[in-house]
């Protein structure tokens, strides 16, 4: 299962970086160093290091919880090989796409750094929401399950609001753009069936 492979690789790299600050600083996202030092690998490598154990565990738990569902949908729709390739594309391009706005915003700021797979994880999460909007999610601290599509709308609105405030040291912009990429990528892959599904859903 590709989800488990990604979780294992991310966990290994993150743990190494926890114990080796040289590795940590070599892999994190820094738009200034990408632009002026041509360290282009940072567009991808930042997603494999995390700020701490809590950051790593939350991201990997969400990825594990929803990645298998998206993998299954892609495999049943496209076949195992092609579906697996599309799942990898969803994750990898989610990593890239989620930082493009921050790259433009911080390319001249040497002190801005970012780490974590949240953008790519959100791409997978929102692909899952698009494919199963009526599934129910339990989100702490809300004690009751809520429909996935309601959570999605609330989360996107929250990310936009917090990104504008920008005072809590969390990459809300990357969260938003990763989620948006997951929606758009999955829609473009399966647009005819998704349109038919939502048309039937709205007609009920």
Per residue in 153-192, pLDDT (tens digit) is 888 888 878 777 665 556 778 889 999 999 999 999 999 9
Q: Which domain holds residue 142?
A: 2-203
The total of structural domains in the chain comes to 1
Q: What is the pTM of this model?
A: 0.92
Per residue in 31-73, pLDDT (tens digit) is 999 999 999 999 999 999 998 999 999 999 999 999 999 999 9
Tell me the CB-side half-sphere exposure of residue 153, using CA atoms within 13 A. 5
CATH classification of the domain holding 178: 1.20.1540.10
């Amino acid at each position: 299962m590709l989800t488990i492979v990604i979780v294992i690789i991310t966990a290994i790299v993150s743990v190494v970086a926890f114990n080796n600050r040289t590795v940590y600083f070599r892999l994190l996202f820094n738009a200034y160093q990408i632009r002026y030092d041509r360290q282009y690998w940072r567009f991808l490598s930042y997603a494999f290091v995390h700020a701490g154990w809590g950051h790593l565990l939350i991201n990997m738990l969400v990825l594990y919880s929803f990645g298998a569902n998206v993998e299954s949908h892609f495999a049943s729709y496209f076949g195992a090989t092609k579906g697996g390739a599309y799942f990898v594309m969803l994750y990898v391009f989610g990593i890239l796409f989620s930082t493009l706005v921050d790259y433009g915003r911080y390319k001249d700021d040497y002190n801005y750094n970012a780490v974590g797979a949240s953008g790519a994880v959100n791409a997978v999460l929102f692909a899952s929401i698009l494919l199963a909007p009526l599934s129910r999610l339990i989100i702490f601290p809300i004690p009751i399950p809520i429909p996935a599509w309601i959570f999605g709308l609330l989360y996107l609105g929250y990310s936009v609001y917090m990104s504008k405030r920008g005072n809590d040291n969390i990459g809300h912009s990357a969260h938003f753009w990763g989620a948006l990429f997951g929606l758009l990528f999955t829609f473009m892959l399966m647009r005819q069936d998704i349109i038919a599904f939502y048309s039937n859903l709205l007609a009920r």
